[in-house]
Structure 1
Amino acid sequence: MTQLFFGIKALVLNDEGKFLAVHKTKQASPLLEIPGGRMEFGETIEETLIREMKEETNLVVAPKKILTTWNYMKKTGDFQVAGLIYLVEVENLSSLTLSEEHDSCTWLGFDELNLLVPHFKNALENIECSNLF
């Protein structure tokens, strides 16, 4: 059976212009991703983003603008997630606390995209950084 999901990710920037990257607890690879998750039935895109960010990072966010799209297809071809990456504004970065879903986080510069899983690396390469600040 094939499965298709819609996911929303957040680009959280700090004062140094770096973005938040997280590592999934169950991920054997050292590669990182950006926080967010899958839409639940009945939610709007923005509600999904706000809920997922609170669940995963304890951050209260406000969606600012859609930056780009992303797509992940499992090598077996039976599982796909496609979605959006939003630029978000954060109420208080000091409240950052990871859920059990993630075992670490770090702040990356846009010159460190090679530390991300390929589908997020590819998506963020297309963003015009000068439009973020």
Structure 2
Amino acid sequence: MKPVIPAVKAVIVKGDTFLALKKKGQAGDVYELPGGKMNFGETHGECLFREVYEETGLEVQPFILYDTWENFQPDYQITGVFYLVEMPENGTIRLSEEHVAYQFLPLEKASLAQMDIVFADRMARWDFEAIKGFMGAR
């Protein structure tokens, strides 16, 4: 039996934008979301806090579980969840050695052209206007 690996990703919202990270060694202008694989005994929230802090230096809390994603490889499957997260007001981004750049992309479908296909395919179904309204209404 091939392993199924749980993971979490954060959609860190700042105004009408979201945080995207460029992984070291990634060819082209392709970005991903902060987050990663869960450790044994870790909750989704604990994993999200740990991974986002390791990758960006930001201390965040999951706000709402928004969607799921899957990544099928020949020897394993990653099954993950997306959390909507607010950008900390006084947050300063410090990238880990895993990433070389970041940017805040507009919360709209056109931004998905810069995202890794694993995430872009799923995010293409999202209602970005509803996300903006929901996150801005808080």
Q: TM-score, normalised by structure 2?
A: 0.85
Alignment partner, residue 55 of structure 1: 54
Deviation above 6 Å: which 4+ runs of structure 1? Answer: none
- Name 2:96's counterpart in structure 1: 99
Task: Name the SS for the 1:55 alignment partner.
Answer: helix
Contact 1:8 1:84 in 2 (8 A): yes
The answer to whether the 8 Å contact 2:14/2:86 transfers is no
Unaligned runs of 5+ in 2: none
What SS does the corresponding residue of 2:45 show, helix, strand or coil?
helix
Count of aligned residue pairs for this structure pair = 130
Structure 1 residue runs without a partner (length 5+): none
Which residue of the partner structure matches residue 11 of structure 2? 11
Secondary structure class of the residue paired with 1:62: coil
Measured on the aligned residues, the alpha-carbon RMSD in Å equals 1.7
Cα pair 2:49 2:59 within 8 Å, conserved: yes
1:50–1:62 Cα contact (<8 Å) kept: yes
Q: Tell me what 2:23 maps to.
A: 24
Cα distance between partner residues in 1 of 2:8 and 2:53: 13
Structure 1 position 86 matched with structure 2 position 122? no
